């Protein structure tokens, strides 16, 4: 069975059991990793580590080659970006503000295919996420001036990314609040049943 790239990205299991107490696997989608690092505060402000690749790499299917680092600034509460499915892995942080981060598993052969994971994230918690290729990613800001920082494993290429309708009834996502600002691209994105006609069948097979 073949679909448009990157909807044919295959599931890769984690290579070993996680033994680092600061790193956990997502409870809904296999292969997503999450961690938190402390921030240290004094009269100047704060300092905190975002990531130590030495600690994360043993639990990835392969080493993460940082090819690009991007940041978005979202001026207003209720700004939605996504859902985007990419052919690259991502490492994500929220350095400022508050948002609901949404992930959708669309990897071929994944035991959690079709599942949705919703994560309420505050910048002050200093949380990081590792997202495998083939997992849809979106976020909705819950505060003004929210920033979203992410690293990619290959250079961004529009041919290697597909947008999915943010309110796709097949996914039934509870966004928390109603979005106020959405790009034209995301408003006009297609639902999954147009991109993957047998989506419901694949979800049932994964259960």
Which residues are known catalytic residues? 84, 150
Burial label for 192, CB within 10 Å (0-12, 13-18, 19+), is buried
CB atoms within 10 A of CB 120: 11
Give residues with Cβ within 8 angstroms of 80, minimum separation 6: 138, 139, 140, 141, 166, 175, 179, 181, 182, 186
Which residues on neighbouring strands pair with residue 195, listed in sequence order? none
Question: Strand pairing of 39-42 and 127-131?
Answer: unpaired
- CA dist 187 and 180 (Å) reads 11
- Contact between residue 145 and residue 74 where contact means Cβ atoms under 8 Å apart: yes
């Amino acid at each position: 069975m073949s679909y448009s790239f990157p909807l044919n990205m295959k599931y890769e299991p984690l290579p070993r059991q996680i033994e680092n107490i600061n790193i956990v696997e997502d409870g809904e989608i296999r292969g997503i990793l999450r961690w938190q690092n402390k921030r240290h505060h004094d009269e100047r402000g704060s300092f905190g580590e975002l990531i130590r690749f030495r600690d994360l790499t043993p639990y990835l299917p392969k080493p993460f080659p940082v090819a690009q680092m991007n940041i978005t600034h979202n001026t207003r509460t209720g700004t939605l970006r996504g859902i985007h499915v990419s052919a690259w892995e991502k490492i994500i942080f929220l350095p400022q503000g508050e948002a609901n981060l949404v992930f959708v598993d669309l990897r071929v052969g994944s035991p959690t295919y079709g599942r949705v994971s919703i994560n309420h994230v505050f910048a002050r918690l200093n949380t990081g996420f590792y997202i495998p290729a083939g997992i849809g990613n979106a976020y909705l800001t819950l505060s003004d001036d929210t920033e979203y920082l992410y690293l990619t494993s290959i250079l961004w290429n529009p041919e290697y990314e597909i947008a999915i309708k943010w309110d796709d009834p097949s996914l039934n996502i509870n966004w928390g609040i109603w979005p106020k600002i959405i790009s034209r691209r995301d408003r006009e994105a297609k639902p999954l049943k147009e991109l993957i006609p047998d989506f419901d069948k694949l979800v049932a097979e994964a259960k």
